[in-house]
């Protein structure tokens, strides 16, 4: 018996997801490569989580995340209370599991799933795992969705907005035109929406094939606790509830998200600060004659004159204990993606960029 | 567009998993229906978890659970250190996700997956979700694996040992005879092993198609935190690592499991107490002329003279704020499954059984 023979035949050409580099936590790095929130959760949130570390740990967590969904309605989606109810919400073990559950509920082997390039790397990975046919649509040179998108057919389309890695939002006019014509589910992944002024949420009541994803990993400083949310028509949510693993979100993860929502006003201030820092870093880069895409996220995408120069900036940052993201995909070689850090981190970053620019740009 | 039309065609006959009843946590119930550990985690473990609620919450958790796997080797699998190494271990979001990942790595649509009835209800549910053909083998009247099992073919076989709901372990001699002949993966789900004296772990080095599952939900009082483990040949583990969601185990879940393993000696004492209580409850039931299956788990399966009488005991318990588990499957109608509670809870349970027996049995 050869164990390799037991592996799924349909996975013979499968390529696993590649993580962003995680440095040794005992070394002091400025970590701007995986778009985590620069700030730790507020002390009051940490205190409330600590207070919940008690005898309940022995019990199974709530399979429906009821308290969290109630808080989402009363604190996070307040302005949409007319259209979003409890049965329009499902919670999962991070956005990654939301995507997994979407495939489990809606994608049979051979179904066509549409997404864009470049975008979040998990979409094609999950598509392969569920035997879907990936139809990948190339974004324009300006990272925009190309003309004619409303002619595309498929069972599901995933739109990341603000997109990773460009940081640019997709206008609701484009999402509307897709929802009207697309014969399947239209999923808008709004992982970075807390740093943006655009959202497709208001379209949910108008288009029953629309689903919107959110996460606590970026806006709520909770990447560790894996909280992903999906908002959609109650029928979509019910199908997903039926197929998800029963106890998919741990008790302390639910507690962490609940505590965060109770103090959402602190996070709103934090988002304003991050947006202000994003403007500072963007301006600093532009002063160096670097092109920066207009970002709606907690990161920016910077275009260097060449792949070679991009690599020099990346290396120079690493020498200075700053980790940023570079890419191996051909079309992204001259680009660097940089998460927005704390003010003092951003100052150091800009200084390293300044000095490197002097050295390597004519 | 009708949303029902978007649902997977292959799920038309799918039936979701049915949870054990979760009572209102604000009401005072003796909860003996879902096999959680009767005891809360030791205070020192709770304190260590609290101490870890800090700035790390903003960061992604370790995708490989490295510290947890190291502790599993040094604290939990000490006696197997010659045969189990780091690359023989994978951690997931509860045993349910271990099962999900097994299917993702090894089961193509149409592959045959073998399991037993009655057993844990998630196996057929996940099989349906992955389009597997479920081959269900009925256990004997004594809940034993029937003769001729080593003739059965398939891509994967899942054996729950100690089995849920019988509480009975499968002898290693039977597991060995299956491993020798079965042309696929043999998965032994040892969720309740901490209360047993049998394990298939020692067979791992001998049979490369064998995988053994463990969980922190029962023995380590951590059902809330969803920690499932699989031990197998490194090739099996590598295939599973390649297909699992990148950040599948939250930071605080990893911290909880780590803290538990650091104080494993406290849990070993606790297991002895639960086993002693199991003997007391079993004896108490037998004094009432009730048949109790010999249990290796933290629950017992009690046979009542009829389905009707079983229902009366169940109802009488509920009236007295004790929740136990009854079944709708025909072959299990006269049975009740009862988790072992704390000593004082078990006294109340036995009293209610005594009084009910007086009323309803001849």
Q: Of A194, A199, A150, A196, which is closest to residue A172 (Cα–Cα)?
A: A199
pLDDT at residue A195, rounded to an integer: 98
Helix (H) or strand (E) holding A158: strand A156-160
pLDDT in tens, B101-139: 999 999 999 999 999 999 999 999 999 999 999 999 999
Structure confidence at residue B357 as a pLDDT band (50, 70, 90) = very high
Residue B362 has pLDDT above 80, yes or no: no
Of A8, A246, A253, the CB nearest to B108: A8
pLDDT in tens, B246-274: 999 999 999 999 999 999 999 999 999 99
C-alpha torsion sign, points B324, B326, B331, B334: positive
Alpha-carbon span B263 to A216, nearest angstrom: 32
Residue B294 touches chain A, beta carbons under 8 Å = no
Residue B12 has pLDDT above 90, yes or no: no
The token pair that represents A138 in the structure block: 């190339």
Residue B282 has pLDDT above 80, yes or no: yes
The token pair that represents B138 in the structure block: 């009925």
Residue B144 has pLDDT above 90, yes or no: yes
B54: closest chain A residue by CA: A46
Residue pointed to by tokens 């069972």? A155
Q: Where are the alpha helices (DSSP H) in A107-203?
A: 122-129, 172-181
Residue B352 has pLDDT above 90, yes or no: yes
Alpha-carbon span A263 to A255, nearest angstrom: 13
Chain A hits for B11, CB-CB cut-off 8 Å, are 105, 243
Contact A113, A154 (CB under 8 A): yes
pLDDT at residue B18, rounded to an integer: 86
pLDDT at residue A20, rounded to an integer: 78
Residue B4 has pLDDT above 80, yes or no: yes
Residue B69 has pLDDT above 80, yes or no: yes
Peptide bond preceding A273: is omega within 30 degrees of 0, i.e. cis?
Answer: no
pLDDT at residue A19, rounded to an integer: 80
**Residue range B80-95: average pLDDT?**
97
The three-state secondary structure class of A307 is helix
Of B60, B94, B241, the CB nearest to A223: B60
Helix (H) or strand (E) holding A271: helix A264-287
Q: What end-to-end distance do the CA atoms of chain A give, in Å?
A: 61
The residues that bridge with B89 in the sheet, in sequence order, are B231
pLDDT at residue A24, rounded to an integer: 82
B248: closest chain A residue by CA: A93
CB count within 10 Å of CB B14 equals: 15
pLDDT by residue for chain A (362 residues), tens digit each? 889 999 999 998 899 998 878 888 788 999 999 999 999 999 999 999 999 999 999 999 999 999 999 999 999 999 999 999 999 999 999 999 999 999 999 999 999 999 999 999 999 999 999 999 999 999 999 999 999 999 999 999 999 999 999 999 999 999 999 999 999 999 999 999 999 999 999 999 999 999 999 999 999 999 999 999 999 999 999 999 999 999 999 999 999 999 999 999 999 999 999 999 999 999 999 999 999 999 999 999 999 999 999 999 999 999 999 999 999 999 999 999 999 999 999 999 999 999 999 999 87
Residue pointed to by tokens 């959110």? A214
pLDDT at residue B23, rounded to an integer: 86
Of B57, B122, B209, the CB nearest to A256: B57
Alpha-carbon span A288 to A302, nearest angstrom: 11
CA B297 to chain centre: 9
Interface test with B, best of A21, A34, A57, A183 (most B CBs within 10 A): A57
Residue A238 touches chain B, beta carbons under 8 Å = no
Of A14, A96, A106, the CB nearest to B247: A96
The token pair that represents A208 in the structure block: 């029953």
Of A7, A58, A107, the CB nearest to B37: A58
Residue B223 touches chain A, beta carbons under 8 Å = yes
Residue B96 touches chain A, beta carbons under 8 Å = yes
CA B222 to chain centre: 12
Structure confidence at residue B30 as a pLDDT band (50, 70, 90) = very high
Q: What DSSP designation does A286 have?
A: H
Residue B327 has pLDDT above 80, yes or no: yes
Alpha-carbon span A34 to A165, nearest angstrom: 11
A25: closest chain B residue by CA: B56
Which string of b and e fits B313-352 if b means at least 16 CB within 10 Å?
A: bbebbbeeebbbbbbeeeebebbbbbbbbeeebbebbbeb
Alpha-carbon span A290 to A198, nearest angstrom: 26
Chain A hits for B34, CB-CB cut-off 8 Å, are 60
Residue B248 touches chain A, beta carbons under 8 Å = yes
Residue B29 touches chain A, beta carbons under 8 Å = no
Residue A325 touches chain B, beta carbons under 8 Å = no
Q: In what order do the strands lie in the sheet with B112-117?
A: B89-93, B227-232, B210-215, B185-189, B156-160, B112-117, B133-138
B102: closest chain A residue by CA: A7
Of B96, B100, B223, the CB nearest to A58: B223
Residue B37 touches chain A, beta carbons under 8 Å = yes
Distance from CA of A289 to the nearest CA of B (A): 32
Q: Within 13 Å of residue A304, how many CA atoms lie on the same side as its CB?
A: 24
C-alpha torsion sign, points A34, A37, A40, A46: negative
**Are A250 and B245 inside 8 Å of each other by CB?**
no
Average pLDDT value over all residues in chain B = 96
**Are A36 and B59 inside 8 Å of each other by CB?**
yes
Extended strands (E) in A26-79? 30-31
Indicate the burial class of A109 (C-beta count within 10 angstroms; 0-12, 13-18, 19 or more): middle
Residue B25 has pLDDT above 80, yes or no: no
Three-class SS of chain B: CCHHHHCCHHHCCCCCCCCCCCCCCCCCCEECCCCCCCCCCCHHHHHHHHHCCCHHHHCCCCCCCHHHHHHHHHHHCHHHCCCCCHHHEEEEEHHHHHHHHHHHHHCCCCCEEEEEECCCCHHHHHHHHCCCEEEEEECCCCCCCCCCHHHCCCCEEEEECCCCCCCCCCCHHHHHHHHHHCCCEEEEECCCHHHCCCCCHHHCCCCCCEEEEEECCCCCCCHHHCEEEEEECHHHHHHHHHHCCCCCCCHHHHHHHHHHHHCHHHHHHHHHHHHHHHHHHHHHHHHCCCEECCCCCCEEEEECCCHHHHHHHHHHHHHCCEECEECCCHHHCCEEEEECCCHHHHHHHHHHHHHHHHHHCC
Chain A hits for B106, CB-CB cut-off 8 Å, are 6-8
The three-state secondary structure class of A14 is coil
**Are B8 and A106 inside 8 Å of each other by CB?**
yes
Alpha-carbon span A10 to A1, nearest angstrom: 19
Residue B44 touches chain A, beta carbons under 8 Å = no
Chain A hits for B56, CB-CB cut-off 8 Å, are 25, 224
- Could you tell me the pTM of the whole model? 0.97
Torsion, Cα B243 B244 B245 B251, to 10 degrees, reads -150
Alpha-carbon span B201 to B210, nearest angstrom: 9
Contact B161, B297 (CB under 8 A): no
Helix (H) or strand (E) holding A186: strand A185-189
Contact B335, B327 (CB under 8 A): yes
Q: Of B107, B95, B105, which is closest to residue B249 (Cα–Cα)?
A: B95
**Residue range B179-187: average pLDDT?**
97
Interface test with A, best of B7, B210, B230 (most A CBs within 10 A): B7
**Are A7 and B58 inside 8 Å of each other by CB?**
no
Of A38, A223, A247, the CB nearest to B226: A247
**Are A239 and B55 inside 8 Å of each other by CB?**
no
**Are A250 and B11 inside 8 Å of each other by CB?**
no
Peptide bond preceding B309: is omega within 30 degrees of 0, i.e. cis?
Answer: no
Contact B181, B200 (CB under 8 A): no
Which string of b and e fits B232-246 if b means at least 16 CB within 10 Å?
A: bbeebbebbbbbbbb
């Amino acid at each position: 018996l050869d164990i390799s023979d037991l592996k799924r035949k349909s996975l013979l050409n499968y390529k696993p997801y590649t993580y962003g580099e995680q440095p040794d936590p005992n070394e002091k790095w400025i970590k701007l490569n995986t778009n985590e929130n620069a700030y730790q959760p507020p002390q009051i949130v940490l205190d409330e989580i600590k207070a919940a570390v008690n005898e309940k740990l022995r019990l199974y967590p709530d399979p429906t995340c009821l308290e969290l969904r109630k808080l989402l309605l009363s604190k996070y989606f307040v302005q949409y209370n007319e259209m979003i109810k409890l049965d329009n919400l499902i919670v999962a073990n991070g956005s990654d599991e939301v995507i997994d559950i979407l495939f489990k509920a809606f994608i049979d082997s051979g179904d066509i799933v549409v997404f864009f390039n470049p975008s979040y790397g998990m979409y094609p990975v999950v598509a392969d795992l569920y035997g879907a046919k990936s139809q990948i649509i190339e974004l324009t040179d300006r990272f925009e969705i190309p003309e004619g998108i409303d002619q595309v057919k498929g069972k599901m389309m995933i739109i990341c907005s603000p997109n990773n890695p460009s940081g640019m939002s997709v206008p609701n006019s484009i999402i509307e035109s897709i929802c009207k014509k697309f014969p399947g589910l239209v999923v808008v992944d709004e992982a970075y929406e807390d740093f943006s002024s655009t959202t497709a949420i208001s379209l949910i009541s108008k288009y029953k094939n629309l689903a919107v994803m959110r996460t606590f990993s970026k806006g709520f400083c909770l990447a560790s606790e894996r909280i992903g949310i999906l908002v959609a028509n109650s029928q979509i949510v019910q199908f997903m509830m039926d197929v998800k693993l029963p106890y998919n979100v741990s008790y302390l993860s639910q507690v962490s998200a609940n505590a965060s929502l109770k103090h959402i006003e602190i996070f709103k201030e934090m988002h304003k600060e991050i947006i202000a820092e994003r403007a500072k870093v963007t301006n600093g880069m532009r002063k160096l004659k670097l092109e920066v895409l207009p970002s709606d996220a907690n990161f920016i995408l910077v275009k260097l004159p060449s792949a070679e120069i991009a690599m020099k900036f990346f290396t120079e940052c690493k020498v200075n204990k700053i980790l940023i993201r570079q890419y191996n995909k051909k079309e992204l070689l001259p680009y660097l993606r940089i998460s927005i850090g704390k003010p003092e981190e951003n100052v150091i970053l800009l200084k390293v960029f300044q000095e490197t620019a002097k050295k390597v740009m004519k």
